[in-house]
Structure 1
């Protein structure tokens, strides 16, 4: 093989690897295990001891319904599943004890909907920090996810 062909092959390989890395960065996978994928895991942090909110997308790629029943984190004294809603022009929020995700379906935890209510931080948190939050399921192993702290203005 000529030097020119070797050089072209090397540059082509580097370009392919760079493209793959760019794709992975554009669509970050926060955690994955046994038919569950969690992406876009972030938490909106507020000043002081105010509660934070956790958001993410949970995809069930398995052939069985999964049931999310809770979450926990060493960074917060209490973590609950919540749902925000607007009924008859009145905003409200309620605690949720379980969320079912059917096979090949997903659920979004996003502002104005489902979210993790992260109460009583055990230490100071700033935008850019990463916090481990463990999602708990019925009849499945828990899944620990890295959440990125973001300022409230970013969402």
Structure 2
């Protein structure tokens, strides 16, 4: 009987320790994510199943730099970071892997510049819908952001 009570206490202690550890880890992640502020998140979609473009402003309010390394959304098969540029009168667009954001730096993802490309919609979307996107960072931070679906004409 004493053995069973001892075994039960050990299991309860392990569960409490695991819960406390998870709570601390989640709290640490939230504190880090709070140093990043996203505003004006919008997703421009053309008719049909053409790719969409995501625009937003990202402000690193923290004391340390961060590196944006990607994004994902359950509404699309893939999300890529792209940049548009013009050379010799020709528009070009290419993917990039990461973007450093220094302390108190603001980065704008905007038309004719850096933007997210949303590829292969999973389900139909309409103007006015909201799309959940998670921005990912090199330090494993994950920042959920709600993008509003807008008409390309509104940009």
Provide TM-score, normalisation by structure 1.
Answer: 0.78
**Superposition pairs of residues 66-77 of structure 1, within 5 angstroms:** 66-77=66-77
In the alignment, structure 2 segments of 5+ residues that lack a partner are: 1-31
Which deviations, in whole Å up to 9, do the C-alpha atoms of 1:93-115 show, x marking residues without a partner?
01010000010111100000000
Does structure 1 retain, via aligned residues, the 8 Å contact 2:72–2:133?
yes
CA distance in 1, matches of 2:45, 2:80: 16
SS of equivalent residue, structure 1 residue 128: coil
User: Match of 2:144?
Assistant: 144
Q: Partner of 2:29 in structure 1?
A: none
Q: Which is helix-richer, 1 or 2?
A: 2
CA distance, structure 2, for counterparts of residue 140 and residue 72 of structure 1: 13
- Bigger Rg over Cα: 2
Residue 128 (structure 1) aligns with: 128
Deviation at 1:41, TM superposition (A): 0.2
The alignment covers a number of residue pairs equal to 124
Q: Which residue of 2 aligns with 1:37?
A: 37
Match of 1:56 in 2: 56
TM-score by length of 2: 0.78
The offset of 1:34, in angstroms, is 2.3
Aligned partner of residue 74 in structure 2, secondary structure:
coil
